[in-house]
Structure 1
Amino acid sequence: MFLECDCWKYLGLCFCAYLALRVLCPLWSLVNIYFLGSYPNFKKYGSWSVVTGATDGIGLAFAKKLAKFGQNIVLISRSKDKLNAVAEEIQNKFNVKTLVIAADFADPDIYEAIFAELRDLDIGVLINNVGISFEYPEYFLDIPDLPGAIDKMIAVNIRSTVKMTEYVLPGMVSRKSGVILNLSSGAAVKPTPLLSLYSASKQFVDCFSKTLNAEYAKQGVIIQSIVPFYVTTKLSKIRRSSMLVPNPETFVSSTLKTIGKAKRSYGYFAHAIEGTMFSMIPESLYMMASKRLNNSIRIRALKKKNQKKE
């Protein structure tokens, strides 16, 4: 009888220890990644950083922060005027070199010209930031200009990441040093209805990054997926920052401290809490809730669009 009591006692202790580990291990991981990290010495990777989608939001914040650490910056975006303005600001404020490349990543024929500009540069950091979503959530077959929208989404969100990585990775492997950050999205944590194409494209970026990191980490190259939720950018259409919605500068400062800490980072602690919680929810329940939420956003957006037409 006493043996039976001891057995149950030990089973109870084991169960409590199991629960503690289930809670404490993820918590320690979050603390380690988002509070105990520090900025790397970017110069050891190379003297140039390349940032796509560099004239606004998160891309602009990355360019300025890396320049603050003494990195020369390649700015790639569509508008030559905006690029020149950003380049001038960075040069004057941080006393570094800049190179501007005007390119529309929706065009599949831009890469030869981009790579020609990058050929002689010692590229240590690549930020694959450029990306597009839709104006509002929508059912797949009802997306405006569907054939063109499909091609554009794949070109900007997927091809750009693959092609830019394809170009810079050989040099990093040969030097056994380099950092590639690929911007995914919170919409990639689980499949997100009414954002089907966007969610899938960002899941590709997440998967591509993690698998490449497994292939090349031992060769000294850090390839990290960054999975942000809402940040105050034009893409999110949110203007006011909060604890859950940081501004681009806060998000980027936090993200750069996570480099090398994990194969996938949410970039920002509050986003990591969101992502961890969402990942625990059964997929069917998550999809049902996100479909309902996105459909309500869709209805409001269509109503506003129809009112403008009137």
Structure 2
Amino acid sequence: MELDDLMIAAAAALGFISLCKNLLAFARWLHAALVRKPKNLRDYGLWAVVTGPTDGIGKALAFELASKGLNLVLVGRNPDKLEATSSELRERYGAAVEVKTVTADFAKLSGEEIAAAMAGATEGLDVGLLVNNAGVAYPYPRYFHEVDRELMESVLRVNLNAVVWVTKGVIDGMLKKKRGAILNIGSGSSVYVSSYPLQTLYASTKAFMAMFSRSIGLEYKEQGIDVQCQVPLFIATKMTMLRRRPLLVPSAEMFSRASVRWIGYELQCNPYWLHAVQGFVIRSLDAITIRYGSRYLKWMRKDGLEHDRLL
């Protein structure tokens, strides 16, 4: 009996510790989401570099950062779209915000060319924030063998290669002044589910980004550089082709407002609070999520193939 009582007491103690740990994590999340003050991003520097700033999250973040008084270096592959975004920013904020543009096609440039372009574009600027937002996804779900060579190269070069080399081109300036922040826009597909079939390459590149962010975040914390990977779920953008549903699928603007509040804190986070709740449920029901998610992705694949056939 004494051994049985001891085992029961040990199990109860472990359960209590686990409960307290989860309650503490929940309390910390509530404080961060609802109470904690955002950092003054100008304390990092007067300029922010944003990749992929002409659509979706990148464009929304560019406008949100401009509203905080940051000057912008916009990096994208389409000069016409870059100029259009720059004009919109100047029209809204006037002389209060300076805007520079850099035309760079990450899918075609080598790593060293990307780093050199970034170093040249930011030379002499007080760059305090880098936002690695540029990304490529499948036009619609598909099996790995169906991914053609051009799409595969684009996903790997933009989602992997560019993140590494853009960071390489900017981080030296942050190290010299011992302050700065790097925000990498990842994906919930890399943290909330154990697998993501029919989007294999995309999810895998985002998993790399999450690990890359956590690792360099620890490397450079003592150097005054805060690194963070944000892992949102679905957002209504051209890439996802989803319509806005405020409770489940926020607009890029809604996400960007939440995003800037978290910059400079945790190594990894989901800044939009309803996404964080969804993520908890999805992770808890992993097997069910994958089963029904796969069915939905297969339906999307079928629809995409039919669309291609009609073109």
TM norm structure 2: 0.89
Deviations 1:166-198 (A, max 9, x none): 111122122221110001112212331110111
Q: Which amino acid aligns with 2:160?
A: I
**1:157-176 equivalence runs, <5 A:** 157-176=159-178
Selected match of 2:155 from 135, 153, 169: 153
Offset of residue 93 of structure 1:
2.0
C-alpha separation between the residues in 2 aligned to 1:202 and 1:12? 38
Residue 292 of structure 1 pairs with residue 257 of structure 2:
no
Aligned to 2:62: 63
Offset of residue 286 of structure 1:
5.0
Offset of residue 264 of structure 1:
0.3
Does the CA contact (< 8 Å) of 1:37 and 1:258 recur in 2? no
C-alpha separation between the residues in 1 aligned to 2:245 and 2:124? 40
Residue 103 of structure 1 pairs with residue 107 of structure 2:
no
Deviations 1:213-268 (A, max 9, x none): 01111211111011111111101101223212111111111111112331101121
Moved over 6 A (4+): 3-9
Does the CA contact (< 8 Å) of 1:30 and 1:269 recur in 2? no
Distance 1:276 1:103, change over 3 A: same
Residue 27 of structure 1 pairs with residue 31 of structure 2:
no
Offset of residue 100 of structure 1:
0.9
Give the length in aligned residue pairs: 304
Aligned to 2:75: 76
Q: Which amino acid aligns with 2:27?
A: W
Residue 304 of structure 1 pairs with residue 307 of structure 2:
yes
C-alpha separation between the residues in 2 aligned to 1:214 and 1:114? 23
Offset of residue 7 of structure 1:
6.7
Structure 1 gap segments, 5+ residues each? none
Does the CA contact (< 8 Å) of 1:30 and 1:272 recur in 2? no
Selected match of 1:177 from 176, 179, 190: 179
Distance 1:288 1:4, change over 3 A: closer
Identity percentage of aligned residues: 31
C-alpha separation between the residues in 2 aligned to 1:9 and 1:108? 62
Deviations 1:71-99 (A, max 9, x none): 11011112212211221221232221110
**1:1-310 equivalence runs, <5 A:** 14=13, 17-94=16-93, 95-109=96-110, 110-111=113-114, 112-143=116-147, 146-189=148-191, 190-281=194-285, 287-306=290-309, 308-309=310-311
Aligned residue for 1:255, secondary structure, equals helix
C-alpha separation between the residues in 1 aligned to 2:214 and 2:118? 25
Q: Bigger shift: 263-272 or 17-26?
A: 17-26
Does the CA contact (< 8 Å) of 2:118 and 2:170 recur in 1? no
C-alpha separation between the residues in 2 aligned to 1:218 and 1:113? 27
Q: Which amino acid aligns with 2:306?
A: K
Distance 1:287 1:5, change over 3 A: closer
Aligned residue for 1:70, secondary structure, equals coil
Does the CA contact (< 8 Å) of 1:130 and 1:156 recur in 2? yes
Does the CA contact (< 8 Å) of 1:115 and 1:167 recur in 2? yes
Aligned residue for 1:82, secondary structure, equals helix
